[in-house]
Amino acid sequence: MSLRIFLQAPWHWIGSTACALIVFTWLMTLLGAAYAFFREDYHGEPRTLRGFARFLLPRGMIRDRQIRLDITFIIAKKLTRCAWGWAFVGNFTVAYVVHRGLSLIASAGTLLPHAPGPGEQALFFAGAIAAQDFMNFLGHWLMHKVPALWAFHKVHHSATLLTPMTEHRVHPVQEILDYLSISLGGGIVIGLYSWLTARPLIDAAILGVQAYFLVGCLTFYQLRHSHIHLRYPRWLELVLMSPAQHQIHHSREQRHLDRNFGVMFACWDQLFGTIAYTGPLPVTKFGLVEDQAAYESVWRFFAMPFVELGRALFTAPRKAAARYYLHRG
Q: What is the pTM of this model?
A: 0.86
DSSP secondary structure letter of residue 286: B
Average pLDDT (140-144) is 97
Q: Who wins on pLDDT, 322 or 98?
A: 98
| Residue 59 per-residue DSSP state | T
pLDDT in tens, 228-284: 999 999 999 999 999 999 999 999 999 999 999 999 999 999 999 999 999 999 999
**Least confident interval from 78-87, 212-221, 246-255:** 212-221
Other C-beta atoms closer than 10 Å to the C-beta of 158 total 23
pLDDT at res. 196: 85
* Residue 166 vs residue 3, higher pLDDT: 166
First and final CA of the chain: distance in angstroms?
68
pLDDT (0 to 100) of residue 327: 53
Report which of 86, 184, 193, 188 is spatially closest to residue 142, judged by C-alpha positions. 184
Following DSSP, what letter does each residue of 199-265 receive, concatenated? --HHHHHHHHHHHHHHHHHHTTGGGSSSS------HHHHTTB--HHHHHHHTB-SGGGTT----SSB
Above 60 in pLDDT, residue 158? yes
Domain ranges in the chain?
A: 3-328
- The DSSP symbol for 105 reads T
Average pLDDT of the chain?
A: 86
Is residue 25 very low, low, confident or very high in pLDDT (cuts 50, 70, 90)?
A: confident
The predicted pLDDT at position 89 comes to 84
Report the pLDDT averaged over residues 50-77: 94
Cβ atoms within 10 A of the Cβ of 72, count? Answer: 14
- Report the number of secondary-structure helices (H) and strands (E) in the chain: 12, 0
Mean pLDDT of 117-146: 89
